Amino acid sequence: MMHSRRTLQATLAAAALYAVMTAATHAQIAQSGDQPPNPNPPSESAGVERLPAGSGKSDVASVCSRCHTLERIASERRTKRQWDALVPFMVGRLERPPRPEQVRAATTYLTEHWSRPETKAEAALADPLREPDAPLPLAEARDLSGAWMTTSWYTLLNMGPADGLPMPRGLRSAVDLKKDPVEVLSSWSKEKSKGWTIYNDPLTTCHSPGPLAYNSPYPFEILHTPQRITLIAEYFHEVRRVWMDGRQHPPGNPDPSAMGHSIGRWEGATLVVDTQNFKESPAFLVPWSDQLKMIERIRRIRDGNVLEIDLTLEDPVAFTEPMHGTFYFKKEPMLEWSEWNCDGFFDYQPFAPKEPSP
Amino acid sequence: MTPFRAALAALFCLGVCASALAHHSIAMFDNDNSATLTGTVQKFQWQNPHCLLVLDAATVTNTKGQTEPDKVGVWSVELHSTAIMMRRGFTKDYFKPGDRVTVTGGRMRDGSKMIRLFNGKKEDGTPFYGDDFRPESTGNNLPPSP
């Protein structure tokens, strides 16, 4: 029990999202002085004795243990392809990246000691040299209807590509992929985000997540009707109407809205959606202004079973460079829908929230 | 990395809505400082942003395996939103008042009697999972389809 609990903790603590969020909050809480420090900080070398000796072990210890307990690392077996993708992905997120030879040595060590054979299905799906997907007949390729479940969210939580899909790529500078997105935030954005704390996230008071609605652990649905394609996110019941009848955006942003005004066109089998006329985000972790322009390139891949959304965000007020990311959604023909609303938010008081001191 | 940078990185680098994880943020919970509670269900609230299990804990065990007699009493156990719960096989009646359960989760950093569920067991041994999406737990890395 202790072992599995420990492993689970490590899993969760190490999962990409958690690691960063926790780091943020540790620092935030440490700064606020309002909360006690963590009485059991994770030991950097925890589990090192469980890793077999070998060339590259010290690199794993010095590189990977910056964020993960080694026990966590030793609890997972991945394919060579997954290690090859995962290690550079993780390392790319470090503020002080290790030397390339350290990354290579760590990857080699992990592959040698902690890998498993690739299944045939994984090999077929992940092989970049494989035959491309047989193109769907155009009418089928352009039928995006159905329920699409995020893979990005869960993939990132499990820290590896799911179902042979390429690793989703979160938003990065579109000009320089190495650039951390905070490097392209304008001073306006930084100023606007200053007041954000984990206690006053606008979502807690039912503010719309806006264009990030489908970047959530919830599915969305696409409906085709004459003149338009409609995207309905389960999360917050957000609806986007993508006008396909050739109309333009109303000039001058006359009615700013959380989800913006979307017009779409087909480029072959790719739906290109141009969304503008947003309203300024309330005070989100990620700010955007009413100048935000979002371009999505949406297409079905993997024999039509996966939806790829290639996202570009431009905002001359909030970002100094455009940002870009790629996300994947899996077709879920049997998905059971639920109602996700925020009615309960206002009476969700399981504890007395404490405002961090300013 | 400043908290601001880190927080932004959390959202941008991963391209997921951090707030989706938790509407008052999961970061309030400390995964490295868990508690295991055994006790009786008082009520089960099926609601957003998170379902809540209110538990009268008879024993509280910390990460080191030590019991904490001064912590016994009523605890809140936070689970997922209703939609995720439903797709993972829960219903509003999954827990009933009087059920005996054992649950493990990360503690609130402020010391209040609340955890965010990792996993748990009903009295008959039936396991259930919270923030545990590992394929070996769920059999999949996506919420199960019916």
Does residue B6 belong to any structural domain of this protein?
no
Q: How far apart are CA A151 and CA A214, in angstroms?
A: 11
Which segment of A48-62, A164-178, B67-81 scores lowest on mean pLDDT?
A164-178
Average pLDDT over residues A5-25: 33
B129 pLDDT above the threshold of 90: no
Does residue A123 belong to any structural domain of this protein?
no
Q: How far apart are CA B98 and CA B86, in angstroms?
A: 22
Q: How far apart are CA A321 and CA A48, in angstroms?
A: 42
pLDDT at A5: 38
CA distance A246 to chain B (A): 30
Is A181 in the same domain as A284? yes
Q: How far apart are CA B49 and CA B6, in angstroms?
A: 24
Q: What digits encode the pLDDT tens for the residues A131-157?
A: 556 788 999 999 999 999 887 666 555
Tokens of B142: 């996506």
Average pLDDT over residues A166-180: 73
Is A48 in the same domain as A194? no
Does residue B55 belong to any structural domain of this protein?
yes
Mutate: best of A1, A25, A78, partner B, most B CBs <10 A: A25
pLDDT at A51: 76
H or E segment at A280? none
Q: What digits encode the pLDDT tens for the residues A174-215?
A: 777 777 677 888 999 888 877 776 566 777 778 888 877 777
Residue keyed to tokens 């008042």: B97
The CATH number of whichever domain residue A203 belongs to comes to 2.40.128.20
A348 pLDDT above the threshold of 80: no
Is A181 in the same domain as A257? yes
- B-contacting residues of A 2-61, CB under 8 Å? 2, 5, 8-9, 11-13, 16-18, 20-25, 27-29, 31, 35-36, 38-42
Q: How far apart are CA A294 and CA A277, in angstroms?
A: 10
Does residue A22 belong to any structural domain of this protein?
yes
- Total structural domains in chain A? 2
Q: What digits encode the pLDDT tens for the residues B12-27?
A: 333 333 333 344 455 6
B83 contacts A20? CB cut-off 8 A: no
H or E segment at B106? strand B100-108
| Amino acid, res. A94 | L
Mean pLDDT of chain A: 75
Of A190, A217, A351, the CB nearest to B76: A351
A22 pLDDT above the threshold of 70: no
A22 contacts B31? CB cut-off 8 A: yes
Instruction: Indicate the pLDDT class of residue A1, thresholds 50, 70 and 90.
Output: very low
Q: How far apart are CA A293 and CA B10, in angstroms?
A: 22
A20 contacts B10? CB cut-off 8 A: yes
Residue keyed to tokens 């994880």: B21
Please tell me if residue B92 touches chain A, with a CB cutoff of 8 Å: no
Residue keyed to tokens 């017009």: A263
Those residues whose C-beta lies under 8 Å from the C-beta of residue B22, and which sit 6 or more positions away, are B28, B49, B50, B116
Q: How far apart are CA A46 and CA A9, in angstroms?
A: 13
Helices (H), chain B: 3-14, 18-21, 82-87, 135-138
Radius of gyration of chain B (CA): 16
Closest to A67 in 3D by CA, of A9, A108, A13: A13
Does residue B143 belong to any structural domain of this protein?
no
Helix (H, G, I), strand (E, B) or coil at B124: coil
pLDDT at B59: 97
pLDDT at A314: 94
pLDDT at B32: 84
Is A101 in the same domain as A26? yes
Is A84 in the same domain as A227? no
Give the residues across from A310 on adjacent strands: A297, A326
Sign for the CA dihedral angle at A152, A156, A158, A160 comes to positive
Tokens of B26: 């999961």
- B-contacting residues of A 298-337, CB under 8 Å? 323, 325, 327, 330, 332, 334-336
pLDDT at A130: 52
- Total structural domains in chain B? 1
Those residues whose C-beta lies under 8 Å from the C-beta of residue B136, and which sit 6 or more positions away, are none
Whole domain around residue A273: which residue ranges? 138-347
For residue A63, CA distances in Å to A89, A91, A98, A214 come to 13, 8, 7, 33
Provide the CA A349 distance to its chain's centre, in angstroms.
28
Q: How far apart are CA A219 and CA A223, in angstroms?
A: 13
Please tell me if residue B126 touches chain A, with a CB cutoff of 8 Å: no
Q: How far apart are CA A157 and CA B79, in angstroms?
A: 17
Is A90 in the same domain as A213? no
Tokens of B106: 């990360």
Closest to B102 in 3D by CA, of B68, B143, B47, B61: B61
Residue keyed to tokens 């609230």: B45
Radius of gyration of chain A (CA): 22
Average pLDDT over residues A69-95: 71
Q: How far apart are CA A103 and CA A64, in angstroms?
A: 9
pTM score > 0.80 for this model? no
pLDDT at A198: 58
Sign for the CA dihedral angle at A171, A173, A179, A185 comes to negative
Residue keyed to tokens 């077996």: A77
On whether ipTM exceeds 0.85, the answer is no
pLDDT at A286: 72
Q: Which residues of B touch A183 (CB under 8 A)?
A: none
Is A162 in the same domain as A305? yes
Of the two residues B124 and B109, the one the predictor is more confident about is B124
Is A152 in the same domain as A254? yes
Q: What digits encode the pLDDT tens for the residues A301-346?
A: 888 888 989 899 999 999 999 988 888 888 888 788 888 888 777 7
Tokens of A186: 């304008």
Does residue B13 belong to any structural domain of this protein?
no
Q: How far apart are CA A35 and CA A42, in angstroms?
A: 18
Q: Choose from A4-8, B5-9, B128-132 the range with maximum mean pLDDT.
A: B128-132
Is A106 in the same domain as A151? no
Of the two residues A15 and A246, the one the predictor is more confident about is A246
Give the phi and the psi of residue A334 in degrees, each rounded to 5. Answer: -105, 20
B23 contacts A25? CB cut-off 8 A: no
pLDDT at A315: 95
Name the percent of chain A lying above pLDDT 90. Answer: 28
Mean pLDDT of chain B: 78
Is A102 in the same domain as A152? no
Is A149 in the same domain as A109? no
Q: How far apart are CA A124 and CA A111, in angstroms?
A: 20
- A-contacting residues of B 38-77, CB under 8 Å? 47-50, 52, 63, 65, 76
Helices (H), A179-307: 187-193
B19 contacts A158? CB cut-off 8 A: no
A296 pLDDT above the threshold of 60: yes
pLDDT at A57: 87
A185 contacts B8? CB cut-off 8 A: yes
DSSP secondary structure letter of residue A257: B
Sign for the CA dihedral angle at A236, A301, B132, A13 comes to negative
pLDDT at A27: 31
Q: What digits encode the pLDDT tens for the residues B34-73?
A: 999 999 999 999 988 889 999 999 999 999 999 999 999 9
The CATH number of whichever domain residue B52 belongs to comes to 2.40.50.1010
Please tell me if residue A346 touches chain B, with a CB cutoff of 8 Å: no
pLDDT at A358: 40
Is A149 in the same domain as A27? no
Please tell me if residue A358 touches chain B, with a CB cutoff of 8 Å: no
Q: How far apart are CA B120 and CA B105, in angstroms?
A: 9
